């Protein structure tokens, strides 16, 4: 669709921030063409994958998932008024030359304690299920920022602000869940998508209406807990925002990752979008 009125929006996310629920909110519209984590697929399942996760899953290499090919795919013409893609800030780090042109870039963050404790639960499930190294620990702090997906998020935000010269639109996951309709109205207004009240609810366990890699489909089958809440929801869950992590229950390896993330989160949080 070459129409100049077409709207193209990226939502760059950190893990466990509620991005799948956000995707369900947007992708359920009949005027949206949606994509789920194509750059993440490059890192996991493409021919130049840097993660060993695909080998652990015994997933086939997906040759169409190179950064250059995904950029072309997202920039292609589609006969929809809105093109929406959610992806991982960590996956595009080091590949900013492949950020697709013509998109408004927005961001979804989350409190470090909630990111890492949620990831820790998935990590434990992964380690028990398929990991070859059963003695692996969650601690990923091998340098100044490793283990903190909020570092890559902050770097991406700075790139979009300072190089692409775009307005920064950041949503905190807890703010979204605490006041979903007001936050989605403001996000829609900020990117030029007409808000629809019916966006705020969706059918439980319906077929997903977005493009994604075969590897991601395999992950959803093998690790249903990763997307269970979002796929079995009928809307945003406000009780999740109210839940806090008890620091006395945080393992030492996870605590290191939380502490590494805090400075980046504070800087991002100060830039977040708020509603009255």
DSSP for 58-114 reads: TPPP-TT-SHHHHHHHHHS--SSSEEEEEEEHHHHTT-GGGSPTT-EEEEEE--HHH
The chain-wide mean pLDDT, for the chain, equals: 86
pLDDT in tens, 48-85: 998 777 777 788 999 999 999 999 999 999 999 999 99
Residues 6+ apart with CB under 8 A from 25: 184, 199, 200, 202, 236
Per-residue confidence (pLDDT) for residue 2, from 0 to 100: 46
Any idea how long the chain is? Answer: 276
pTM given for the model:
0.89
Per-residue confidence (pLDDT) for residue 270, from 0 to 100: 98
Per-residue confidence (pLDDT) for residue 233, from 0 to 100: 79
Cα–Cα distance, 129 to 134 (Å, whole number): 9
Which of 80, 83, 47 has the alpha carbon at shortest distance from 62? Answer: 47
Which of 28, 158, 141 has the alpha carbon at shortest distance from 93? Answer: 158
Cα–Cα distance, 128 to 116 (Å, whole number): 18
Which domains are present in the chain?
A: 7-111+148-236+263-269 (3.40.50)
Least confident of 52-61, 88-97, 250-259: 52-61
**Banded model confidence at residue 268, pLDDT cuts 50, 70, 90:** very high
What does residue 29 show for φ and ψ, rounded to 5 degrees? -75, 150
Least confident of 5-9, 25-29, 256-260: 256-260
Q: Over 50: is that where the pLDDT of 141 sits? A: no
**Residue 223: its H or E element:** none
Least confident of 110-124, 139-153, 168-182: 139-153
**Banded model confidence at residue 260, pLDDT cuts 50, 70, 90:** confident
Task: Give the CA count within 13 Å in the CB-facing half-sphere of 87.
Answer: 33
Q: Over 70: is that where the pLDDT of 171 sits? A: yes
Yes or no: say if 74 and 103 are a contact pair by the CB < 8 Å rule: yes
């Amino acid at each position: 669709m070459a129409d100049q009125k077409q709207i193209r929006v990226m939502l760059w996310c950190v893990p466990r921030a509620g991005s799948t629920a956000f995707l369900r909110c947007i992708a359920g519209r009949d005027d949206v063409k949606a994509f789920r984590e194509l750059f993440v697929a490059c890192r996991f399942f493409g021919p130049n994958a840097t993660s060993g996760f695909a080998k652990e899953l015994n997933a086939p290499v997906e040759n169409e998932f190179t950064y250059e090919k995904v950029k072309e795919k997202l920039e292609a013409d589609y006969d929809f008024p809105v093109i929406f893609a959610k992806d991982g800030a960590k996956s595009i780090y080091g590949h900013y030359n492949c950020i697709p042109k013509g998109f408004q870039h927005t961001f979804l963050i989350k409190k470090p304690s909630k990111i890492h404790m949620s990831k820790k639960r998935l990590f434990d499930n992964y380690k028990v299920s398929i990991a070859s190294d059963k003695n692996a620990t969650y601690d990923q702090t091998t340098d100044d920022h490793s283990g903190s997906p909020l570092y890559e998020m902050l770097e991406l935000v700075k790139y979009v602000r300072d190089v692409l010269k775009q307005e920064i639109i950041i949503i905190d996951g807890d703010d979204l869940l605490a006041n979903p309709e007001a936050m989605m109205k403001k996000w829609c207004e900020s990117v030029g998508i007409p808000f629809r009240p019916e966006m705020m609810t969706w059918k439980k366990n319906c077929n997903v209406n977005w493009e994604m890699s075969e590897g991601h489909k395999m992950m959803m089958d093998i690790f249903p807990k990763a997307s269970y809440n979002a796929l079995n929801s009928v809307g945003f869950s406000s009780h999740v925002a109210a839940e806090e992590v008890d620091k006395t229950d945080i393992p030492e390896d996870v605590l290191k990752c939380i502490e590494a993330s805090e400075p980046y989160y504070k800087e991002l949080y100060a830039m977040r979008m708020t509603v009255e």
